Amino acid sequence: MSSAARLDHAKEVADILEALCKKVSYTDLLAVYQENKRLKEEIEDYRAVKRRNEQELAEYRHEIESAKQDAKGKGEKLSAEEKKKEELNSQHHETLQKLNTTMQKLTSMDNEIRRLQGFSITMKTAPQGEIIRILQSLFESARAFAEAYFVPDLSTDILQEPSHWEKLKERTRPIPLPATNSPPAKQVRVAAALVIVSRIISRHIFSPVYLTDRDGELSVFLGELGDKDSSRESYLRSVLLKSVADVQQTRAAERVQIAVDEISRLLRPLFTGEDRASLTSALEELCQKACIDWQRIQQLQQKIEPNFKHYPEYADEWLPFSLKKAASLGSNQKPQQNGQRDTGKPKAGKAPLAAPGGETPEIVVWPSFILNESGEALTKGYVLRDTHLRAAREEEERLQKEVEEEKKRRLSAQPTRRDIRNRGRKSSIGVASGSRPSSNEGFEYIDPKGTAESFLPLEAGGGPKGG
């Protein structure tokens, strides 16, 4: 309340008191007093309420100011968030564009990969035991074939005609091949047959792909590539196998027939009649089996190849060659006409025909098979040692001496020039002086038809030891 108002109020009170003194009774004064007291109390209450209101108002103002400051801060933060949101939205949009572009590229690349995968086959993996079983069965089948046809006795006509042996001897030098039916002669004949079979099958069938009907630079290239980068070789091989899928079987059949023809030309001179036909049939079965098995090997991720090279430091990768049933060397059994042969396991107690003897392996009869990438031998190869050859060599030398003696005997039995001059001009001369006796007269003369390269070229330390 202001000072003027208080003065007015005091004046009013004084006027009232003055009036009361003149006109009002005590009761009226008491009422006035009580009314005045009540009014004072109300005034104090109003003042207290006012103070509380002013305090609350100050608090409200403080809260409002704080709220304003908070709102301002939140507004700034909201503005920053909005700005950040806009930036994130912009980045999100850019990211979506990049993602869409990347997805388009991925889709394009996936389509391209699928297209490229269509150019190749999926190279396979197989348990090593299964691979070894396939490779070992190739040897067992080849050995069973050789034993079926070269363990039985050869006819006397074949043994006594040198021309039947020429091709076989040319391609298997320096293996001695005595023309007899003795156990040592049979063993080396079986080994020689395996030498021919293994080399020709290896050349035509044990190839990485059948792109052409014969091996060539492609196989060499794949081998060299495998040495440098096995993964790239595997992929290239998968592409080639897919690319020639339509002609793979045709080329495989051609290679089988080529192998059969080449092997047959070298081996069939030792057979006649039904045995010769049976030999060809058995060869077709053997080469066909080898081709089917090897096509499974072609599709393996790791490249496997035959190895004919023997190194002394890897002597443990080679086994001495032996016949599966050595006791059969003394029999006179003939091969079955259907070309089938006994492939059962050797019976207990049957020892190999020739003991290893401890000498260095001399001649590789059947190759080992190695992983191209690591050089690890999956299966061991088979070799002829000098102890295998000694008895056959001695027998061949003995036969050669007999031939020389027979030749000398025949020469000494021929008439002299004086005897011929003393005969009449019309006399019949069986064999003219200086002419060549017929090849049908035994071992006296062999008319060479050109020397073929041996499957076993002599290398340093590679040939059989001297007798």
> If you write DSSP's letter for every residue of 217-257 in order, what string do you get?
HHHHHHHHHHHH-HHHHHHHHHHHHHHTHHHHHHHHHHHHH
Q: Which residues of the chain have pLDDT under 70?
A: 1, 20-26, 29, 116-121, 123, 212-220, 223, 237, 241-245, 325-361, 413-467
Q: What local confidence, expressed as pLDDT, does residue 106 receive?
A: 87
Q: What local confidence, expressed as pLDDT, does residue 326 receive?
A: 56
Residue 415, preceding peptide bond in cis (omega within 30° of 0):
no
Q: What local confidence, expressed as pLDDT, does residue 410 receive?
A: 75
Smallest CA-to-CA distance from 212 within 172, 165, 248 is with 248
Which residue(s) pair with 383 in the sheet? 320, 364
Rg of the Cα trace of the chain? 56
Smallest CA-to-CA distance from 316 within 373, 388, 381 is with 381
Q: What local confidence, expressed as pLDDT, does residue 108 receive?
A: 85
The two beta strands, 318-320 and 377-379, are unpaired
Q: What is the pTM of this model?
A: 0.61
Q: What local confidence, expressed as pLDDT, does residue 382 receive?
A: 93
